[in-house]
A and B are shown apart, each in its own frame.
Chain A
Amino acid sequence: MNELPEDLERAFRTLDAQAARRAERVDPERVAAQVLERLRAEKALAPRVLSLSPGFRLSAFGFRLPAFALAAAAAVVLLVGTMTTGLLRRDVATGSIAVPVVAQGLDSLNQQQLETVLRVAGDVQPLAVQSFGSPAGMWDDLSETQLRAVLQAVQQVQGETL
């Protein structure tokens, strides 16, 4: 580029030639394949979380739950995981959605429905599940009163942190 002084241009051409040689080692086909693989993985994960749309039907369980209840349940799983194991990773914490006063929307659910919500939340938040192990069965041992107590505790924690 002739707008550079001669000595600077010469030095820059030398430097850039070396950069070009180093850049040649980066194979565009390999990069394209790996980028595509990562984009596919992200897409595959996204619908599981985005499925929390209004009126989302839990066909496997035969009843409807409002989206806010499922989103709240996801937050419940994250927070319970934090309280019980302290293993919640930073990326999960920052990736979770702060849902204020989550348990209010669940007051009308019976024990079976509460357990179902917590299990479904585990299904839709795989990162959270990884952070404290599989939640499968962890709610089974709790009574309805205990389940409500967990939700209330979460509610209090959120009230203090928000």
Chain B
Amino acid sequence: MTDGDLIARYLAGDEQAATELVRRHTAALARFLAVQGAPDDELDDLVQDSFIKAFRGLGSFRGGASYRTWLLAIGANLLKDRRRQWRKRVAVELTPNLPDHSGDPAGDADAGWAAEKLADEIGKLPRLQREVFLLRAQQGLEYGEIAQGLDISEGSARVHFHHAVKRLKESVQ
């Protein structure tokens, strides 16, 4: 059953459809918010609130964009609004002891350092650059889908991605 089917069923009064939508998209939404520095103790609430906002706004959801893209955009906006409240808190808790995939301890330490720098730089990106970059690099979405979800042109999405990559590349060099 597609997300569109579930949305139609929810709007017709089927609560189970809402449950299924939440099950499907919670992991992606949480990961999308986490990589942007949402604090651990706020992540659960942020995910919940994003879904609530999405369900409230289903009337304005345009079928052109995927539900997930739309939901992630809602989550990003929510995170942006709450970020002000978190300014005085540690936004990202990067753990240097990450899994060793390379068998190269020195390389792994470098990767941990670079990831920390990268997290910091992602947080500094302009909103559209950040969202386009993450929707593309993390969620693996096509430019067309990103463009529809963020209500921008496909060309603009490509430009935002290009600028984000250029800036982030400098931060990890």
Residue positions of A touching B, CB distance < 8 A: 1, 3-5, 7-8, 10-12, 14-20, 22-26, 28-32, 34-36, 38-40, 42
B157 touches A (CB below 8 Å): no
Q: Which residue of A10, A15, A28, A32 is within 8 Å of B27 (Cβ)?
A: A28
- 12 pairs, CB–CB < 8 Å, chain A vs chain B: A7-B169, A11-B111, A11-B118, A12-B118, A15-B119, A18-B95, A19-B138, A25-B40, A26-B47, A30-B44, A36-B18, A38-B52
Would you call B18 and A11 a contact (CB within 8 A)? Answer: no
Task: Tell me the dominant secondary structure on chain B's binding face.
Answer: helix
Residue pair B118, A8 in contact (C-beta under 8 Å):
yes
A to B contact number (C-beta, < 8 Å): 114
A26 touches B44 (CB 8 A): yes
Most buried by A among B26, B40, B95, B99: B26
Tell me the B residues contacting A by CB distance below 8 Å.
15, 18-19, 22-23, 26-27, 30-31, 33-35, 40, 43-44, 47-48, 51-52, 55-56, 94-95, 98-99, 111-112, 114-115, 117-119, 122, 136-138, 140, 165, 168-169, 172-173
Majority SS of interface residues in chain A? helix
Are A5 and B169 CB-contacts (below 8 A) given A19-B31, A26-B30, A32-B23? yes
Once the chains bind, are B114 and A11 in contact (CB under 8 Å)? yes
Given contacts A4-B165, A23-B34, A25-B43, contact A12 B48 (CB under 8 A): no
